[in-house]
A and B are shown apart, each in its own frame.
Chain A
Amino acid sequence: MSEAVLIIGGGPAGLAAAASLADLGVEAVLVEKEPELGGTPKKYAYSKLVPDLRPAQETLAPLVQRVQGREGLRVLTDARPTAVSGKAGDFKVRLAGPAGEEELSAGAIIVATGFEHFDARRDTKYGYGIYPDVVDIRDMERMLSEPQLKRPSDGQVPQRVGFILCVGSRDRMVGNTYCSRVCCSVCCVQAIEVKEKNPSAEVYIFYMDIRTYGLLENLYWEAQEEHGVLFVKGRVGEILPRDGQLMVKGEDTLLRGPFEVPFDLMVLASGMEPGEGTVQVAELLNLAREPNGFLAPRDSHTAPLEAAVEGVFLAGADLAPKFSDDAVAEGAGAAVRAAAFLRSRAGR
């Protein structure tokens, strides 16, 4: 019988879970496979976050701070679980880390293994990875973190920038049929950032429909009204190079019909997929996955943060595409569910 909780994944969800457990006085171990905490936003140097355009690093720093030097909380980076045995209340977990292998006991496990961006090389229409000036939103976050936005091929400031929504989402050809939920909003924010850095740039967003859901609806208004970002209804069919520029072809399905226009930089709103860590941990813990590959909760209505495997709790983008603020909320929620679970067993 162990009183400790193992948290797998040190992104926003895992960090929030670890801090919450420390607040509750529950012993915990946080394991992160990367050398640094902060998850995908850290790994890919995200620039500004939805909805308020706050710098990502400014929001990550306090999350990381809250898990440092806490009593009863061990934080291991560069480490990952390699084998799990036992059952709820007494999991035996083998960890591989920089100091070699170790085994630890955990009463409960929180899985917060997150997502990976869709690999846009799988969508052959857009030539991602073969034309340097076709980038994805992940690359764009890093590029926008620099003082000036430059296009990769020649370091010039791009004057015509286009965004293509739904790359690797809602598309049977690439195999991902779900909506990745965040990309519409992220692209609105990135488009605004492009205009902030270079107000003379022409920025277009090519959309099938805009899913800046809920309170995020203002993002595309702001992008249009305050920054002059242009929206074209139509999914781009293909990108091809011509004379040092990118020829972008598609159909404006509302107004202009077919178009073939040059751009300096094209940004693909590559969607979200379960990360490699999520796939591995699902196998280790025998966790059910829903048809798109994300982790499936025991009951999405009444137990949205619990796996069908007793003693295993779920949080963050390994469950479905979501923003980091939702992931933080779920991390805290999963921590409470795990603490309650351990307490109920101890009382038994």
Chain B
Amino acid sequence: MITDLARMRVPSRKAPGKKPFPFHEELLELGEKGEVIVIPIKEENRPVEVECLDGRKKRIPTNKLWHHKSCGQCGNIPGYPASIMWFMNRFGLEYLDETNQTSCTAWNYHGSGTSNVLALAAVASRNFHRAYETGYYPLIHCGTSFGNYKEMRNLLVEHKELRDEVRKIMHKLGRELVLPEEIVHYSEWLHVMRHDIAKLRTQDVSQVVTTVHPACHTWKMIPEDYIYDTDVYGGRRPAPTTSVLLALGAQVADYSTWNDCCGFGFRHILTEREFSRSFAVNRKIKPMVEEAHSDVCVTQDTGCTTTLDKCQWIGRAHGMKYELPVMADVQFAALACGADPFKLVQLVWHTAEWRPLLEKMGIDWRKYEGEYKEYLEKLRSGAQPESLYELKVE
């Protein structure tokens, strides 16, 4: 019942008729002319075809991926990237995570205006060139980086002057102007992997009521370049995240502010916190709890996960004692597939109480907590930490 709307299927999608900028064709043309180096999606990337908002087909590479990490995830929600890599290990997929990466720096742009298109486009091209020279295809973890790179890609394709200026900077770095054939968010990877992920499921999540917060910068920035699917909300809402929850058999509840932002607002989370926390609690957490009776808020981006989680506590000042666990789709999926909630999913960094959720999922958190504490002590006495991969030192 609860999930009927999310599960609604249509035989084919009715795409809105907006004629978006045909960046893909023009990008490939620029690549042929030698104006830009285009990172192609190759056979070895094992791409899966999906449909975007406007009906365009997008290919999502699933293998041989270069992790474009997110600063906010790595800094505050380390179980987020860890869960992505854990799944790749489970599937035996190749990937590369390295220290030779900068963030997209778009927080500065959206938050304080202390960047500009030239710097942002150059940072994008730098990171893409780095992925290109390693032979791995970039997978963007952060929603803002994804949105920002989509925007920079379109600007670079549209404006020759910008390409020329960025190329000049790239040459100073000993690099070239590089753009990938498709800019791919990890939630898109998760979407195309959802049936394989469901096969790994160890926990029964059928009684867990989830609510999804789709991130503004994944689906509202360059909206035509994100996945919609005939099997999710009748093709009407962005498919990723909801799709993996459906595949895992969780309940997905609708709520009346599903499309509102989280309140993060870049500068607001730091300097207009009354906005961020009021918005997060009143406009998001409250409807999730009171309308949808949700057990967990499932996100797909960095800032939203932090804002929705960290801003709940202060609601007590107004008598709103919400404790709705907040985590990314890939963290929830990892838990459902038997990942260690402490060592791998790293829930210790999450603020709203998540232990009752684990109990509902049939996870014995006490056992894992004990192991985690022992593990910390071992590390304290000089033991080597467990790693998902071996870091290659250049």
| A–B proximity contact (CB within 8 A) | yes
A to B CB contacts below 8 Å, 30 in the list: A119-B14, A121-B10, A121-B14, A121-B236, A122-B14, A123-B16, A124-B16, A124-B236, A124-B237, A129-B234, A129-B236, A130-B5, A130-B8, A130-B233, A130-B234, A130-B236, A172-B18, A173-B18, A174-B18, A175-B16, A175-B18, A175-B19, A176-B17, A238-B259, A240-B258, A240-B259, A241-B254, A241-B256, A242-B287, A242-B291
Question: Mask for B204-239, Cβ within 8 A of A = 1, else 0?
Answer: 000000000000000000000000000001101100
Contacts of A154 in B (CB 8 A): none
* Closest Cβ neighbor of B228 among chain A residues: A124
* Closest Cβ neighbor of A273 among chain B residues: B17
Q: Which residues of A in the span 13-70 have a Cβ within 8 Å of any Cβ on B?
A: none
Q: Tell me whether A243 and B291 are in contact in the complex, defined as CB-CB below 8 angstroms, given that A124-B236, A124-B237, A130-B233 are known contacts.
A: yes
Q: Please name the 9 residue pairs, one residue from A and one from B, whose CB atoms are nearest each other, closest first.
A: A175-B17, A242-B256, A240-B256, A121-B14, A122-B14, A174-B16, A124-B236, A122-B16, A247-B256
Roughly how many angstroms separate A129 CA and B8 CA in the complex, as a whole number?
10
Least distance between A171 CB and chain B CB atoms (Å): 9
A121 touches B234 (CB 8 A): yes
Cβ of A228 within 8 Å of any chain B Cβ, yes or no, is no
Roughly how many angstroms separate A172 CA and B259 CA in the complex, as a whole number?
21
Least distance between B231 CB and chain A CB atoms (Å): 13
* Closest Cβ neighbor of A168 among chain B residues: B17
Least distance between B72 CB and chain A CB atoms (Å): 28
Cβ of B198 within 8 Å of any chain A Cβ, yes or no, is no
Least distance between A177 CB and chain B CB atoms (Å): 10
Q: Which residues of A in the span 162-210 have a Cβ within 8 Å of any Cβ on B?
A: 172-176
Question: Mask for A110-150, Cβ within 8 A of B = 1, else 0?
Answer: 00000000010111100101100000000000000000000
Least distance between B238 CB and chain A CB atoms (Å): 10
Q: Is the interface of B mostly helix, strand, loop or mixed?
A: loop
Roughly how many angstroms separate A127 CA and B258 CA in the complex, as a whole number?
13
Contacts of A119 in B (CB 8 A): 14
Roughly how many angstroms separate A17 CA and B37 CA in the complex, as a whole number?
61
Roughly how many angstroms separate A176 CA and B233 CA in the complex, as a whole number?
24
Contacts of B236 in A (CB 8 A): 121, 124, 127, 129-130
- Spell out A's residues near B (CB within 8 Å): 119, 121-124, 127, 129-130, 172-176, 238, 240-243, 247
Cβ of B170 within 8 Å of any chain A Cβ, yes or no, is no
* Number of B positions contacting A (CB below 8 A): 20
Cβ of B257 within 8 Å of any chain A Cβ, yes or no, is yes
Least distance between B64 CB and chain A CB atoms (Å): 34
Roughly how many angstroms separate A243 CA and B259 CA in the complex, as a whole number?
17
Cβ of B15 within 8 Å of any chain A Cβ, yes or no, is yes
Contacts of A123 in B (CB 8 A): 16
A122 touches B256 (CB 8 A): no
Least distance between A75 CB and chain B CB atoms (Å): 34
* Closest Cβ neighbor of A130 among chain B residues: B234
Roughly how many angstroms separate A76 CA and B201 CA in the complex, as a whole number?
59
Roughly how many angstroms separate A247 CA and B258 CA in the complex, as a whole number?
12
Roughly how many angstroms separate A231 CA and B313 CA in the complex, as a whole number?
42
* Closest Cβ neighbor of B238 among chain A residues: A124
Q: Which residues of B in the span 1-43 have a Cβ within 8 Å of any Cβ on A?
A: 5, 8, 10, 14-19
Contacts of A241 in B (CB 8 A): 254, 256
Contacts of A122 in B (CB 8 A): 14-17
B17 touches A174 (CB 8 A): yes
* Closest Cβ neighbor of B5 among chain A residues: A130
Contacts of B291 in A (CB 8 A): 242-243
Least distance between A269 CB and chain B CB atoms (Å): 17
Question: Mask for B82-124, Cβ within 8 A of A = 1, else 0?
Answer: 0000000000000000000000000000000000000000000
Q: Which residues of B in the span 242-270 have a Cβ within 8 Å of any Cβ on A?
A: 254, 256-259
Contacts of B254 in A (CB 8 A): 241
Roughly how many angstroms separate A13 CA and B156 CA in the complex, as a whole number?
51
* Closest Cβ neighbor of A120 among chain B residues: B14
Roughly how many angstroms separate A119 CA and B13 CA in the complex, as a whole number?
11
Roughly how many angstroms separate A247 CA and B257 CA in the complex, as a whole number?
10
Least distance between A83 CB and chain B CB atoms (Å): 27
* Closest Cβ neighbor of B13 among chain A residues: A121
B258 touches A173 (CB 8 A): no
Least distance between B212 CB and chain A CB atoms (Å): 14
Least distance between B216 CB and chain A CB atoms (Å): 14
Least distance between B393 CB and chain A CB atoms (Å): 48
Give the one of A124, A127, A173, A238 with max B CB within 10 A.
A124
* Closest Cβ neighbor of B8 among chain A residues: A130
Least distance between B47 CB and chain A CB atoms (Å): 26
Contacts of B256 in A (CB 8 A): 240-242, 247
Known: A127-B236, A242-B287. 12 other contacts (CB 8 A): A122-B14, A122-B16, A124-B237, A130-B5, A172-B18, A174-B16, A175-B16, A238-B259, A240-B256, A240-B258, A242-B291, A247-B256
Least distance between B240 CB and chain A CB atoms (Å): 16
Contacts of A176 in B (CB 8 A): 17
Contacts of B16 in A (CB 8 A): 122-124, 173-175
Least distance between B120 CB and chain A CB atoms (Å): 26
Roughly how many angstroms separate A128 CA and B17 CA in the complex, as a whole number?
16
